Amino acid sequence: MLQLAIVAVIVVVVAMMYNSLVRLRETADGAWADVDVQLKRRHDLIPNLVETVKGYATHEKGTFEAVVEARSRAMGASTPAEAAAAENMLTGALKSLFALAENYPQLRASENFGRLQATLADLEDDIQKSRRYYNAVVRDYNTKIGVVPTNLVARTFGFREREFFEAEIGERQVPKVEFGDSE
């Protein structure tokens, strides 16, 4: 009878550990979906922004192409690490686009450009919040997978660590924006 009680306790403890891992895994999936939604909103806004700036700065083709290329890469990213690298490249391209806008006072004064810029700034805040939440959930999930005795249950049932969504070391620096002579 005592042996049966010990086995029952072990089964209950393993089931509780398993369930906590499943909850964290699902929370991480949900957090990643939230990040993905925010990134999609950003990607959808960029063509409008590019078209608005194009109307004023038609000879700055290289900047526009860089933004469009960066957006395409960001939209094609499938893992958090790929998305982080692509989004960092897109952020740099957008900084170049806004630096370009500084050369066109009539563009800066445009109501449409101002709205797009404000919307993008709000989206950047939402993306940062989503990234922080996702990374916090991944940290908790990865920690749970790594600690004893949950690591034994995680290994047995195939739970694997998740990637963080973070900037690479070289991309944490502010990009240097230079515009050559346009003649």
- CA 150, CA 52: separation in Å to the nearest integer? 53
DSSP for 113-179, written as a single string: HHHHHHHHHHHHHHHHHHHHHHHHHHHHHHHHHHSTTHHHHHHHHT--PPPP----GGGGSPPP---
58-62, 121-125, 168-172 — most confident range: 121-125
C-alpha radius of gyration, the chain, whole number: 23
pLDDT surpasses 90 at 13: yes
Q: Long-range contacts: 153-156, Cβ < 8 Å, 24+?
A: 153/14, 153/17, 153/18, 153/21, 154/21
pLDDT of residue 105: 82
Q: How confident is the model at residue 25 (pLDDT cuts 50, 70, 90)?
A: very high
CATH number for the region 2-172 comes to: 1.20.1440.20
How many helices (H) and strands (E) the chain has is answered by 6, 0
144-156: pLDDT as tens digits: 999 999 999 999 9
Phi first, then psi: what are they for 176, rounded to 5°?
-90, 125
pLDDT of residue 174: 43
Average pLDDT value for residue range 59-75: 88
pLDDT of residue 167: 62
Question: Per mean pLDDT, which range of 18-32, 53-67, 162-176 is the poorest?
Answer: 162-176
Average pLDDT value for residue range 121-149: 95
- CA 140, CA 21: separation in Å to the nearest integer? 10
Residue 77 CA from chain centroid, whole number? 10
90-103: pLDDT as tens digits: 999 988 888 888 88
Average pLDDT value for residue range 16-42: 96
58-62, 107-111, 136-140 — most confident range: 136-140
Asked if 96 contacts 87 with a C-beta cutoff of 8 angstroms, the reply is no
Average pLDDT value for residue range 110-132: 90
- CA 168, CA 165: separation in Å to the nearest integer? 10
pTM of the model: 0.79
Tokens of 170: 């070289």
